[in-house]
Structure 1
Amino acid sequence: MTSTQSAIPAKFRLTVYDAAPGVTLPASGTLFVYALSGTIVLEGTGEPITLGADEGVFAPLGARITGDGAAWIYGVDAPDAPFVEGADIVRSELLRPAFDGPYLVRADRIESQAGAATPRHGHRGPGIRRLIFGRIRGEIGDSVERIDPGTAWFETGTDMVIGTNIGGSNAAFVRVMVLPSELEGGKTSFMAADAIEATKPRSVQNRLFGEVMVAG
């Protein structure tokens, strides 16, 4: 994070959790639930919502997670909000969007084929990704890391990134970002690093789970 970014007050905290059946979601914030395996049911706030493996939804506040599967929760909250009780924190980051609200919270799924590499790029806002399967080499700003299944990583949006599928088969991750409101409707957040990078193929498939607008 640059000194300019750190000078911007934190607007949100984005946290990804592991959650098993029995967890009750808090009554505030914006919560996205992804079913990693089995069946996940969100109960207690009207008609139950059932998710099969590899499905996700922005969840009703206060819902209780039941079923027989494993879930990931992504929570966008105030910086000082309590964490989700009974869920295990995997990664948590303060977000300092360099744009005004209202803010768009987007959840989607990105998949790539073996050997595919993205152009060097950034995004219109910050977010956390978590790998479902496969293996990726992430070049994020000045760092390079190997990303294995279950690993969560943070991208500021302003740091330039190259993601390369190094696992020998498809790789996929779930991503939740905070974006400018004008991107509502699935408009791309992708920003190529320069004109040359913009000509390169992106080599990914995107599945949009949903979007929620959050007041500034």
Structure 2
Amino acid sequence: MRALTLRLYEDRLPAGCLPVFLPALPRALYVAEGSLTVEGPDDGQWLATGTARVSQQPATLLAEDTDVRIWRWELDAATGTAGTALPSAPSTSTTLKLEADITLDPRFDWLMRCDEVGFPPGGVALTHVHQGPGIRICASGEIAIETQGQRHVHAPGEAWFELGPAPVLAPTTEAASTRFVRCFLLPRAVKGRSSIRYVRPEDADAPKVQTYRVFAERDIDLPA
């Protein structure tokens, strides 16, 4: 098994700040507020609020005339250390929201997916598993995660880790709709397919209220 660390950062780029340079790593970038352009060695992409990009190439972040808030997931070797700031970008600020040690089976080829899950008020994700681990962050509303004998409630801006094969029950608040954004690692055979599997047969056939929006998924090489 390959020992790795998945980290979620929140970056704040002030309007018009100088370009920010990021090294090559499997990475997902989601724009929570504002907009920016992301340049890679072979392409460029403009990201508006509520959109994302997945790549493992070096990236240059180009802010525009408004402040930008980004959620940035990075997969690194387990021996790597969490940075406290974006490289050579003193006008920006970075907060490490969550990090999790993970193990991936090297017999599989892997991909990174960034997507969004939404619920109406009082919606629930019935007891389920996924095909790989990942970190989620609540964007709006409130969600409870019940897994491995524990229950934690997450408000907007709060992140949590899901192992993947550990069953999860996830009810949401009845006071408002709920939405979370996630980045997780999946075998490449899951590309373009749902990764969710329901634990109880009766739940597999029950009506589902959650909605999904896949922003991006890319094949990745595991960090050495």
| TM-score, normalised with respect to structure 1 | 0.87
Match 1:61 to one of 49, 58, 62: 58
Alignment partner, residue 143 of structure 2: 136
Matched residue, 2:182: 175
Q: Secondary structure at the match of 1:50?
A: strand
Summarize deviations over 1:29-88 as a string: whole Å, max 9, x none. Answer: 111111111122324756653211111112551313523221110112222234353332
Question: How many Å separate the matches in 1 of 2:69 and 2:221?
Answer: 31
Q: Does 1:13 align with 2:5?
A: yes
CA change 1:214–1:45 in 2 (3 A) is closer
1:42 and 1:48 in contact (8 A); partners too: yes
Question: 1:44-83 residue pairs with structure 2 within 5 A?
Answer: 45=41, 48-59=44-55, 60-67=57-64, 68-83=67-82
Structure 1 position 90 matched with structure 2 position 97: yes
| Letter aligned with residue 109 of structure 2 | P
Change (3 A) 1:93 1:108: same
The more displaced of 194-203 and 44-53 is: 44-53
Matched, 1:201 2:201: no
1:32 paired to 2:28: yes
Structure 2 match to 1:119: 126
Across the aligned residues of Structure 1 and Structure 2, the Cα RMSD in angstroms comes to 2.1
2:37 equivalent in structure 1: 41
Residue identity over aligned pairs, in percent, reads 22
**Cα distance change of structure 1 residues 47 and 62 upon mapping to structure 2, 3 Å threshold:** closer
Deviation at 1:198, TM superposition (A): 1.6
Report the equivalent of 1:4: none
Letter paired with 2:178: A
Cα distance 1:98–1:55, how it changes in 2: closer, same or farther (>3 A)?
same
For structure 2, list consecutive stretches of 5 or more residues without a partner in the other structure: 87-93
* Structure 1 runs (4+) greater than 4 angstroms displaced: 43-48
1-side partners of 2:44 and 2:218: how far apart? 20
Size of the aligned set, in residue pairs, is 207
Q: Following TM superposition, by how much is the alpha carbon of 1:183 offset from its aligned partner in structure 2, in angstroms?
A: 0.4
**Offset, 1:100:** 2.6
Whether contact under 8 Å (1:119, 1:201) holds in the other structure is no
| Contact 2:31–2:47, Cα closer than 8 Å, also in 1 | yes
Distance 1:57 1:9 in 2: 25
